[in-house]
Chains A and B, each alone.
Chain A
Amino acid sequence: AQKVTQVQTEISVVEKEDVTLDCVYETRDTTYYLFWYKQPPSGELVFLIRRNSFDEQNEISGRYSWNFQKSTSSFNFTITASQVVDSAVYFCALSHPYSSASKIIFGSGTRLSIRP
């Protein structure tokens, strides 16, 4: 069975602080995709990143960085120098890439609030 766990339900930090959102996943597949999506108060789901299971290189995109560790089945997301516009619900997710149409399994989400 596939499962994604985000233990942090809500996080609140002051602007400019660094914040890390944790994600732990379970799957019996050897090949899979991991994702992070952002859902701002307006409601849309914004794609942030996709990692393949065979690519454990960490990735940095501006103030965002992702740490993928297969040994601990974790895919954590760090925002450096947070800003108020980063306030949103962030979902970690998992899918199996090799099928005709692969559903995404989402975690329960972490609500991030950045205080000015």
Chain B
Amino acid sequence: AAGVIQSPRHLIKEKRETATLKCYPIPRHDTVYWYQQGPGQDPQFLISFYEKMQSDKGSIPDRFSAQQFSDYHSELNMSSLELGDSALYFCASSLNRGLETDTQYFGPGTRLTVL
């Protein structure tokens, strides 16, 4: 079965640079979530989109922005990178069944290292 695809898998950037992470959800899934997992930490919710509209927002810095496109893929844009942004970034997707959301399936993650 097709899974969530994330690219790139690894990314190395310098401080103050910009990074763009991409996420391609499981086919027919209409909801995308972004999570950040720091070293030794649990994943923390950043932001989510349902049908191309932002649906929930967590502890996402103002330097980060995201969107979901017409083909349901999503991009997380990160500017003015800081050392503390080094983390594993997960994208997850799910199918919204009316009022009830289905299980979130996670991609393999993008490991961002900021030097």
Main secondary structure of the interface of A (DSSP, over half): loop
- CB contacts under 8 Å to A, within B77-102, are 88, 90, 92, 94, 96, 99-101
Hey, which chain B residues are within 8 Å of A106, CB to CB?
42-44
Given the known inter-chain contacts A98-B99, A100-B96, A101-B48, please indicate yes or no for A45 contacting B56, CB distance below 8 A: no
Main secondary structure of the interface of B (DSSP, over half): strand
Hey, which chain B residues are within 8 Å of A109, CB to CB?
42
B109 near A43 with CB under 8 A, answer yes
Hey, which chain B residues are within 8 Å of A61, CB to CB?
none
- Chain A CB within 8 A of B20 CB: no
Q: How far is the CA of A43 from the CA of B106 in the complex (A)?
A: 11
Partner of B101, one of A43, A47, A91, A97: A97
Q: How many residues of B contact A (CB 8 A)?
A: 30
Q: How many residues of A contact B (CB 8 A)?
A: 24
Partner of B55, one of A50, A98, A101, A108: A101
The interface of chain B, by Cβ under 8 A from chain A, is 31, 33, 35, 41-45, 48-50, 55-56, 58, 88, 90, 92, 94, 96, 99-101, 103-109, 111
Contacts A/B (CB < 8 Å), 13 sampled: A43-B88, A44-B107, A44-B108, A45-B90, A99-B55, A100-B50, A100-B55, A100-B96, A101-B48, A101-B49, A102-B56, A103-B45, A104-B33
